[in-house]
Structure 1
Amino acid sequence: MKNFFYFITLSIILTSCEKVDDDTKKGCTNDCTTLKGKFVTLNNVPVSNIKVSLKYKIWGGELGGSYTRKIVSTQSDENGNYNKNFYIKDTELGNTSPGYFEIKIDDSKIDSNKYIKSYNPPGTSSISLEYPIYSITKRDTIIEKNFYIPKKAYIKIHLNNFLPQLAADHFEVRTFYPFGEKIGNNTFLDSEYSTGFSGYDNWVAKNLNNVFNIFVAEGEKNIIQIIKVKNGINLSQDYEITVPPNNTIELTYDF
C-alpha cells in the first residue's frame, strides 16, 4: 500500500511539471512566420474542415519537466486552404533551441465514407500525420505544407485455396496509394504525394476461400500487395491497378 501511494504521488508531481501554454489566440503583426498550405482530393478538388495545429515542444526527460507551447490552431476553408501567421520567441529560434516544432493534421471531421483518412476503422492501419520541424532559423519565413486526401473506393479481393502446410504459412492482401504530404516525387506510386497504406494483418486468409471488400484510392494508381508465404517460402508480389469511378473490380488470387 505504501508503494502504491508513493507511485500516485510521484505521478502527480511529474504531471504537474508538464507545463502547457496556449498562444493560439494571439495574433502576429511584425516579424511573423507563416504556416500555410492546401488540402485536395482527386482532380485537385479542395477538402475543407481539416484541422491544422503547430506546437513548440521541449522534452523534459523521464523525470518530467516537459514544456509545450500551442502556437497555431486553424483549419482548411472551403477552398482547402489554411493560412496562419505566428510569432517565434527568441528562445525557440535557431539551431541551439532546446525544443522543436510539430505540425499535426487532424482529419477526423471529414466524411469517412467519402475519403480515406489517417485512421479508418475497423480493421485498418493508422497513418501518422505529425511532422516535426527541428529548427527554424529565422522569422519572416513561410512554412508550406500541402496534402492529398484520396477519394475512397472499394474493390473485391478473393484469396482462394489457402491450405497451409506450415504454421508460418500466410496469405494476406494490403494496399498502397497516394496519401498525405506533397513530397515532389514518389517513384513507388508515380505520385507527388506520400504513400498511404491499409491492411497489415487485417485482410488475412483464415479459411479455404476468403473474400474481402478492401478500400483503395479512386482515380489513382494503387498497389495491391499479396503477401504469400507458402511452405516457408516468401512468394509475395505487387500488382498495379488504377480504380475508375463506380468500379466493379473483382480480383482473385490463389495460394
Structure 2
Amino acid sequence: MIEILSSTELPRARQAGALVATILQTLKSRTTVGTNLLDIDQWAQAMIVEAGAESCYVDYEPSFGRGPFGHYICTAVNDAVLHGLPHDYTLADGDLLTLDLAVSHDGIAADSAISFLVGDSKPAESVALIGATERALSAGIAAAAPGARIGDISHAIGSVLSAAGYPINTEFGGHGIGSTMHQDPHVANTGRPGRGYKLRPGLLLALEPWVMADTDKLVTDADGWTLRSATGCRTAHSEHTIAITEHGAEILTLPNQPHP
C-alpha cells in the first residue's frame, strides 16, 4: 500500500517527527561510557509513554524477525547495524552506537536513526562511516522532489556511498510510512535514476542509508533480530522521515526544526 496524506494530516506527521527527533537527541545526550543498552530502552519507553504515543516496535512481528520485537528502540553497536535488540551490554569508550526509533503519535508514524561514537575515542574509520551515511541521506533528500522518482533517490544515495568506497546491501532500505511504520514503496540504497514510483505531495518516506565498512553481507544474531556485518566490520546508519510537498522534501525528524 502507498499512502498519501492530506494537507490536514501533515501537521500530525510533523508532531510525530518532532517527537522522534526529540527522543533520539535526548537519548544521545544521556548516553555515555557505562550506559547499558537496556537503560536506553527504558528511557525511550518512558518518553514515548509520557508523550501519549505508541512504540512501533514492541508488537512488531515481521516475517524476517523472531517476533514480537518486545522493546521500544533498536540499539546496534559496532558491527551490528539493523534491528539491534536491546540487551545487557555496557557501552565502552569508542563504541559506535546506532539508535533507530519509530513512534506513532495521533495515528501517524515517524522513523529516524542516528549513529554516533560513545565517549572520547573517535576512530577514523567510524567517523568516516557515519559521515558517509549522513551525506548520502542529505543527497537522497535533495533528490526527493515532486515529480521525481524513487530511483532518483536511490541513485543519489548510492552514488555517495559508492564514491566513499562502501559496498551496498539492497535487502533492507528506506520505505513508505504513514498510518503504519512500513509501507510501499521500497527505497533501495542504490538504483537507476528515472525508474520507479513517481513522487507526489502527501507521500511520506523514511530514507535510511546504512553501510558496512568492507562487506555487503549480513548475518543474524541468535536473538533472531540483530543484523551484523558478516566480517565483523563496523557499520553506520542514518535515517530521516520526510514529507513530499509541492516545494520539495520537508524533513520531519530534524531536531529543532521550525515548521510552517
Which TM-score band applies after superposition, normalised by the shorter structure? under 0.3
Q: Give the TM-score taking structure 1 as reference length.
A: 0.22
Q: Give the TM-score taking structure 2 as reference length.
A: 0.22
Q: Which has the larger radius of gyration?
A: 1
Structure ranking higher in strand proportion: 1
